[in-house]
Amino acid sequence: MIQHKKISRIIEKRIRDHIYPPLSKIPTQNELAEEFHTSRVTIKKAIDSLIAKGLLVSNRGSGTFVKSNPLINEMNFSGDSYLGLTATMGTEKGRISSEVIKFEIEFPNLRLQKTLLLEKSQPVYHIIRLRKLDNEPFQLEHTFMPIEVIPGITMEVLEHSIYSHIQDTLGLKIGSSFRIVKAVKPDDFDKNYLLCQSDDPVLEVEQVVYLDNGIPFEYSRSRHRYDKGGIVFNNQIER
């Protein structure tokens, strides 16, 4: 009987080779069990390991689908699903305020088309927000979201919580995110809005965030002052 780790490697290769392309539905557990001459229990273990790696997403009653993850070959760290700064602050969210620097509608460039699985004719919001903690510059967000996926964003939404709008107003469920975390030099925006000096390091989090059905709805770059805390990652080791 083939071990689940070997099967997961085969399925992962099919994903990377686009035999199972982004957002496609993979064969059922019964079909895979028949193909690999093994049990459904073994197939489930293989699929669960790929879900844990962020390559697949399972929807009860619909099947298992391939996620689109344009950052996977470059990713330095992976974190938990990101639910937004306001939600992260919890009961202290009143300490967070937002200043909208840019709010425009644009057509996506080639990279955004690939990242967000868009055609060039599908417009996106281009949002730049300065997030303040206790009225002090804390985080600068450069965000792109497809209008067709996340409609109804207004200045009022931007001044509060985009993720609350997505979940509470639109009734959508946020799934997971893929991130690159790196130290970078400050640009003009950082110097102007985060009050960085030319030699201050900046922590950048580049990420793609997905709904629970695997559809990407956000590409963003969040810039953090070096002296305003860090990002905690809790990595699980498979036994």
Question: What whole-number distance in Å separates Cα of residue 37 and Cα of residue 47?
Answer: 16
pLDDT of 225 reads: 85
Nearest partner of 72 among 110, 44, 101, 114, judged by Cα: 114
57 DSSP β-pair partners:
65
* 3-state secondary structure at position 186: coil
* 3-state secondary structure at position 109: coil
**In the chain, what are the domains?**
4-66 (1.10.10.10), 85-225 (3.40.1410.10)
Say if residues 4 and 46 touch (Cβ distance below 8 Å): yes
Question: What whole-number distance in Å separates Cα of residue 206 and Cα of residue 193?
Answer: 19
Please list the pLDDT of the chain residue by residue as tens digits (239 residues): 468 889 998 998 898 888 998 889 999 999 999 999 999 999 999 999 888 877 888 887 789 999 875 444 433 333 444 556 655 544 455 677 889 999 999 999 999 999 999 999 999 999 999 988 888 888 999 999 999 999 999 999 998 889 999 999 999 998 888 888 899 999 999 999 999 999 999 999 999 999 988 899 999 999 998 887 666 554 444 44
pLDDT of 235 reads: 47
Crossing angle of helices 4-16 and 29-36, rounded to 10°: 110
pTM over 0.95: no
Question: What whole-number distance in Å separates Cα of residue 128 and Cα of residue 221?
Answer: 10
Distance of CA 227 to the CA centre of its chain: 25
